[in-house]
Amino acid sequence: MIDGPEEWKLPESEQTPREDRTSTGQVQDKLHTDNPDIAKLVRVIGEQSFLDTGIQAAVEETLRRKAEVRHYTYSPIPLTSQRYRFVALNEMARRLTQK
């Protein structure tokens, strides 16, 4: 074990655990996700991102490419389908990781 500099060391009173403490403290929720208004806002923003024209075009291109590989005829799918949402989420993740 390596000892740190003196200024890093805690006073003796802070080093020993208190008898009445059963666990460590909880991390505070800095995003306030328990607020229903903020949760609704996040949901609305998420839903709007599925309707983005760039995402729609990328999803259509991906689905067309997959259909061509399998020698199927491409037919558009509704924006509310799970397949669309799955491919759209993958496209969003790809864009986020490229930046």
In a domain, 52, yes or no: yes
Mean pLDDT of 40-63: 87
In a domain, 24, yes or no: no
The first and second tokens of residue 80, run together, are 């509310």
Per residue in 6-48, pLDDT (tens digit) is 766 666 666 655 565 555 566 565 655 677 777 777 778 888 8
Q: Where is pLDDT greater, at 8 or 94?
A: 94
- Is residue 81 predicted with pLDDT exceeding 60? yes
Q: Which residues contact 68 (CB under 8 A, 6 or more apart)?
A: 74
- Is residue 54 predicted with pLDDT exceeding 70? yes
Q: What pLDDT does 59 receive?
A: 93
Instruction: Determine whether 59 is exposed, middle or buried from the number of CB atoms within 10 Å of its CB (0-12, 13-18, 19+).
Output: buried
In a domain, 17, yes or no: no
Number of domains in the chain: 1
Q: What pLDDT does 25 receive?
A: 60
Q: What amino acid is encoded at 78 in this protein? A: P
Instruction: Determine whether 23 is exposed, middle or buried from the number of CB atoms within 10 Å of its CB (0-12, 13-18, 19+).
Output: exposed
State the chain's mean pLDDT as an integer: 78
In a domain, 39, yes or no: yes
In a domain, 19, yes or no: no
Residue 63 is part of which domain span? 29-98
